[in-house]
């Protein structure tokens, strides 16, 4: 199959724009934050570890971005942390132009819970960003052309969402997210599919309610980041041969961030759209419209994800708007 022409283009001038990038202390988030700041935006970089966030901020400053960078603590595995972060940002009274929901965990090998009792991947990858976006909705609506980017994954192609996989009774019971025993990759695929479904449903609801948002999803293909180290490897380094193979088959974090950057900034990014690499199986390459998984097209899946997410997080978008 012939490779499709990449859509990547120089970033527009973002001077005066406010952007929030979650998980910006490393990997894709670091690259996205640097790109937005380089185009003139004021970027709020979030990190669970403030020290690592400051180290990342200093690294980006060495690239001499035109914009400015600030670091804020945010743990998406804690709804208290999400509320606190959103409250501080809202109190500043500044319109939010770009929100990039990037932070996440991958295939944590043993079942773990968030501070709120959710399975860790569900809580961090989906419920935390869902709550954050809802709480920041007033700030987003105050901007002229607000953009929300949700980060999915090519593994979402094999994802499956059911009511049981989103239900707190499954998360806190003997069956975890519809899989017993716990299957970390199945849960990860489900949460990444949920990110895409959320992005599409957010656009549909914005259109219906007149929120004025452009909601876009993107995935980085197979990118070499710290996600595996913080997930299935649990802090252990990648073996040398594995790292070399990942660079051969996949791509760097800088290249992997291109679809997110396109989704966050390009006037050609379509609301409700999904973008990823244009190479073999969407593992690497320039940015193009990505293949939408069948699981994201199932009838009522958007309503299911939305209603269960509101119920579990207690964040109601109508009330927060």
pLDDT digits (tens, 9 = 90+) for 80-135: 999 999 999 999 999 999 999 999 999 898 989 999 999 999 999 999 999 999 99
With 60 as the cut, is the pLDDT of residue 231 above it?
A: no
Q: Please report which confidence band the pLDDT of residue 224 belongs to, taking 50, 70 and 90 as the band edges.
A: confident
Checking DSSP bridges between strand 68-73 and strand 42-47, what pairing results, if any? parallel
**Could you tell me the two tokens for 292?**
């939408």
Among 115, 26, 107, residue whose Cα is nearest residue 77: 115
Mean pLDDT across the chain, nearest whole number?
89
Mean pLDDT computed over 217-243: 63
Give the HSE-up count for residue 11: Cα atoms under 13 Å, Cβ half-sphere.
23
- 132-156: burial string, b at 16+ Cβ within 10 Å, e else: bbbbbbebbbebeebbbbbbbbbbb
With 70 as the cut, is the pLDDT of residue 73 above it?
A: yes
What pLDDT score was predicted for residue 306?
98
With 80 as the cut, is the pLDDT of residue 228 above it?
A: no
Q: Please report which confidence band the pLDDT of residue 174 belongs to, taking 50, 70 and 90 as the band edges.
A: very low
What pLDDT score was predicted for residue 245?
53
Three-class DSSP labels, the chain: CCCCCCCCCCCCCCCCCEEEECCCCCHHHHHHHHHHHHCCCEEEEEECCHHHHHHHHHHHHCCCCCCEEEEEECCCCCHHHHHHHHHHHHHCCCCCCEEEECCCCCCCCCCCECCCCCEHHHHHHHHHHHHHHHHCHHHHHCCCCCEEEEECCHHHHHCCCCHHHHCHHHHHCCCECCECCCCHHHHHHHHHHHHHHHHHHHHHHHHHHCCCCEEEEECCCCECCCHHHHCCCCCCCCCHHHHHHHHHHCECHHHHCHHHHHHHHCCCCCCCCEEEECCHHHCCCCEEECCCCHHHCCCCHHHHHHHHHHHHHCCCHHHHC
What pLDDT score was predicted for residue 226?
60
* Residue numbers annotated as active site: 188
What pLDDT score was predicted for residue 148?
98
Mean pLDDT computed over 285-289: 95
Q: Please report which confidence band the pLDDT of residue 36 belongs to, taking 50, 70 and 90 as the band edges.
A: very high
Q: Which residue has the tokens 């991947």?
A: 121
């Amino acid at each position: 199959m012939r490779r499709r022409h990449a859509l990547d283009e120089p970033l527009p001038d973002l001077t005066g724009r406010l952007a929030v990038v979650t998980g910006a202390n490393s990997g894709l988030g670091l690259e996205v934050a640097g790109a937005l700041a380089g185009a003139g935006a004021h970027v709020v970089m979030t990190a669970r570890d403030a020290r690592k966030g400051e180290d990342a901020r200093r690294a980006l400053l060495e690239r001499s971005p035109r914009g400015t960078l600030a670091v804020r603590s945010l743990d998406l595995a804690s709804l208290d942390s999400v509320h606190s972060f959103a409250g501080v940002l809202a109190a500043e009274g500044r319109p939010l132009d770009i929100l990039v929901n990037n932070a996440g965990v991958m295939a944590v090998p043993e079942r773990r819970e968030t501070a709120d009792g959710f399975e860790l991947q569900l809580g961090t990858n989906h419920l935390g960003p869902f709550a954050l976006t809802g709480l920041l909705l007033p700030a987003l609506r105050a901007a002229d052309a607000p953009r929300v980017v949700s980060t999915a994954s090519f593994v979402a192609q094999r994802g499956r969402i059911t009511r049981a996989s989103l239900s707190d009774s499954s998360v806190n019971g003997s069956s975890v997210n519809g899989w017993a025993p716990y299957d970390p990759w199945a849960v990860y695929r489900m949460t990444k599919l949920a990110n895409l479904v959320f992005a599409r449903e957010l656009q549909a609801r914005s259109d219906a309610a007149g929120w004025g948002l452009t909601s876009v999803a993107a995935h980085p293909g197979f990118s070499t980041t710290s996600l595996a180290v913080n997930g299935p490897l649990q802090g252990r380094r990648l073996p040398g041969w594995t790292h070399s193979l990942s660079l051969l088959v996949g791509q760097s974090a800088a290249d992997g961030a291109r679809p997110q950057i396109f989704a966050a900034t390009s006037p050609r990014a379509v609301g409700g759209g999904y973008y990823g690499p244009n190479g073999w199986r969407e593992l690497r390459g320039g940015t193009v419209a990505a293949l939408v998984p069948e699981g994201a097209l199932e009838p009522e899946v958007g309503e299911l994800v939305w209603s269960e997410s509101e119920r579990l997080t207690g964040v109601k978008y109508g009330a927060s708007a």
